[in-house]
């Protein structure tokens, strides 16, 4: 398999000129998206097996929140540091090494016999994500051939598909077979390591070829103060998006079980609806950003979801499902547009920007999961969704973003 993949990488992955000096390398983007799916399946399985872990280890909501914090916290702290380091000195094997960390974390989750092992496993999965996301985002942009939003969406949609598949795999494999079945996902991690090793070699060759070309002109030539203001606004938008997303990924299953008396499997299927809709939203968000501009997509995504989040805590099971799909689709379309917008604000720092925004997203999600767990213990899980419903109001901050050429 490796030899065949390398043969493909030498032909279909080769550089060719275009308006950006490079053509769009869809095979590379699909490969990195597939590995993003594998990576995020592992992450999603962690959240999806929370009910099993709660029953087996008698965990409180606060302890569940700490598991998410261990995963997201390590990813948040390390991602911008890794992105900055690889901007200066790329490491072709870093992608495969990140997947190896995720593999080890899975084994800890599957076979650990104490809460400390679970925390360690969650942290190792976070480290794997911290290594994967900045470098993978750099590969996606390098392969874009000028279609940066489309490439970012294709890359990110793999992660969303992985998040969507996680609850299904947990419902139909882990729940019937038990926690030990999580160890079986190590096979997927090994496949991901093989693909990522080949992608890393392609990226190294591509980087050397690109180094011989003149550096492209900056898309955004703005004063430093305006760039800092724009980055701050984008950070607040990610803040609103990811706190709400954390409330869904960590506690939506419990909300459905408590409010509608659903079984764990039925609740996991409802979570799948949200995650599948989010995958579609990510896919279209970048494509629409390339066509109509990233600023407009950000407006539509963050502020446009507000009426639906306000309704969600007060409707029937049927309408909860409908609103879940709408919220997942609209809210998720923002992130590829935000990443591309930020990369154009700070040209030449692809890894740093990807690390900052993916890391910030993970960090906010981790802190929010822990805080919302404490709030749920104190006031109830329905109150969490009543509070989080107002977060999209922060979408009004989009008015402070500058107009770019794209």
The arithmetic mean of pLDDT across residues 196-201, rounded, is 90
Q: What is d(CA 35, CA 95) in angstroms, rounded to the nearest whole number?
A: 10
Please report, for residues 95, 119, 162, 246, 314, the alpha-carbon distance to residue 166 in angstroms, rounded to integers and kept in the order given: 21, 19, 6, 15, 27
Which tokens hold the place of 226?
Answer: 């305006």
The arithmetic mean of pLDDT across residues 28-57, rounded, is 85
In a domain, 183, yes or no: yes
Give how many domains the chain has, as a whole number. 1
In a domain, 216, yes or no: no
Q: What is the pLDDT of residue 308?
A: 93
Q: What is the pLDDT of residue 216?
A: 52
What is the share, in percent, of the chain residues with pLDDT greater than 90?
Answer: 11
Domain harbouring 281, CATH code: 1.20.1250.20
Q: Please name the residue that has the structure tokens 């942009």.
A: 141
pLDDT band at 22; cut points 50, 70, 90: low
Quick: pLDDT tens for 308-324: 999 998 999 999 999 99
- Which range of 91-95, 97-101, 353-357 scores highest in mean pLDDT? It is 97-101
In a domain, 293, yes or no: yes
Average pLDDT, the chain: 81
Q: Is 136 exposed, middle or buried (0-12, 13-18, 19+ CB in 10 A)?
A: buried
Phi-psi region of 262 (alpha: psi -120 to 50; beta: other; left: phi over 0): beta
Q: What is the pLDDT of residue 8?
A: 39
Q: What is the pLDDT of residue 29?
A: 92
The arithmetic mean of pLDDT across residues 29-52, rounded, is 85
Q: What is the pLDDT of residue 212?
A: 63
> Helix and strand tally (H, E) in the chain?
17, 0
Quick: pLDDT tens for 349-402: 777 777 777 777 666 766 777 788 888 888 888 888 888 889 888 888 888 888
Q: What is the 3-state secondary structure (H, E, C) of 139-194?
A: HHHHCCCCCHHHHHHHHHHHHHHHHHHHHHHHHHHHHHHCHHHHHHHHHHHHHHHH
In a domain, 217, yes or no: no
pLDDT band at 181; cut points 50, 70, 90: confident
Q: What is the pLDDT of residue 221?
A: 64
Please report, for residues 18, 86, 98, 210, the alpha-carbon distance to residue 215 in angstroms, rounded to integers and kept in the order given: 15, 18, 29, 9
Q: Does the model's pTM come out above 0.85?
A: no
Closest C-alpha to 170, from 289, 266, 283: 266
Residue 31 predicted with pLDDT over 90 = yes
Residue 285 predicted with pLDDT over 80 = yes
Identify which has the larger pLDDT, 273 or 86.
Answer: 273
Identify which has the larger pLDDT, 1 or 340.
Answer: 340
Lowest model confidence (mean pLDDT) among 18-32, 314-328, 338-352: 18-32
pLDDT band at 333; cut points 50, 70, 90: confident
Name the residue range of residue 322's domain. Answer: 2-211+222-400
Residue 334 predicted with pLDDT over 50 = yes
Half-sphere exposure of 186 (CA within 13 A, CB side): 17
Q: What is the pLDDT of residue 195?
A: 93
Which tokens hold the place of 10?
Answer: 């030498």
Whether 104 and 77 have beta carbons less than 8 Å apart is answered as no
Lowest model confidence (mean pLDDT) among 99-103, 209-213, 295-299: 209-213
In a domain, 405, yes or no: no
Lowest model confidence (mean pLDDT) among 13-27, 37-51, 303-317, 382-396: 13-27
Residue 92 predicted with pLDDT over 60 = yes
Lowest model confidence (mean pLDDT) among 24-38, 130-144, 174-188: 174-188
In a domain, 41, yes or no: yes
In a domain, 273, yes or no: yes
Identify which has the larger pLDDT, 110 or 319.
Answer: 319
Lowest model confidence (mean pLDDT) among 162-176, 187-201, 253-267, 316-330: 162-176
Q: What is d(CA 279, CA 243) in angstroms, rounded to the nearest whole number?
A: 18
Burial pattern 384-401, b for ≥16 Cβ within 10 A else e, equals: bbeebbebbebbebbeeb
Q: What is the pLDDT of residue 307?
A: 92
């Amino acid at each position: 398999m490796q030899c065949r993949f390398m043969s493909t990488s030498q032909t279909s992955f080769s550089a060719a000129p275009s308006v950006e000096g490079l053509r769009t390398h869809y095979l590379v983007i699909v490969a990195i998206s597939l590995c993003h799916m594998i990576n995020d399946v592992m992450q999603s399985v962690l959240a999806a097996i929370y009910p099993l872990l709660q029953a087996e280890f008698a965990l409180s909501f606060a302890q569940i929140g700490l598991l998410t914090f261990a995963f997201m916290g390590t990813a948040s702290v390390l991602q911008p540091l890794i992105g900055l380091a690889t901007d200066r000195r790329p490491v072709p094997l870093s992608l495969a090494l990140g997947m190896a960390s995720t593999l080890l974390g899975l084994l800890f989750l599957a076979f650990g016999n104490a809460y400390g092992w679970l925390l360690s496993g969650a942290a190792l999965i976070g480290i794997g994500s911290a290594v994967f996301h900045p470098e993978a985002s750099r590969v996606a942009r390098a392969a874009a051939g000028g279609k940066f939003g489309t490439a970012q969406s294709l890359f990110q949609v793999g992660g969303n598909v992985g998040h969507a598949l996680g609850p299904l795999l947990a419902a139909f494999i882990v729940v019937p077979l038990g926690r030990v079945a999580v160890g079986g996902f190590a096979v997927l991690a090994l496949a991901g390591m093989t693909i990522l090793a080949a992608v890393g070699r392609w990226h190294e060759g591509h980087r050397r070829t690109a180094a011989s070309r003149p550096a492209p002109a900056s898309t955004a030539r703005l004063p430093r103060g305006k760039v800092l203001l724009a980055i701050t606004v984008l950070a607040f938008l990610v803040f609103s998006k990811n706190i709400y997303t954390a409330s869904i990924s960590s506690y939506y299953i419990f909300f459905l079980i408590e409010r509608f008396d659903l079984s764990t499997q039925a609740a996991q299927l409802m979570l799948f609806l949200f995650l599948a809709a989010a995958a579609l939203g990510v896919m279209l968000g970048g494509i629409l950003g390339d066509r109509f501009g990233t600023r407009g997509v950000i407006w539509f995504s963050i502020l446009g979801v507000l009426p639906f989040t306000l309704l969600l805590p007060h409707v029937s099971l049927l309408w909860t499902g409908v609103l879940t799909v709408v919220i997942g689709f609209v809210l998720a379309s923002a992130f590829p547009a935000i990443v591309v917008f930020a990369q154009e604000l700070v040209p030449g720092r692809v890894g740093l920007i990807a690390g900052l925004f993916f890391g910030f997203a993970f960090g906010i999600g981790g802190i929010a999961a822990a805080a919302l767990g404490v709030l749920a213990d104190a006031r109830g899980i329905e109150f969490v969704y009543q509070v989080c419903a107002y977060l999209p109001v922060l979408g009004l901050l989009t008015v402070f973003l500058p107009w770019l050429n794209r």
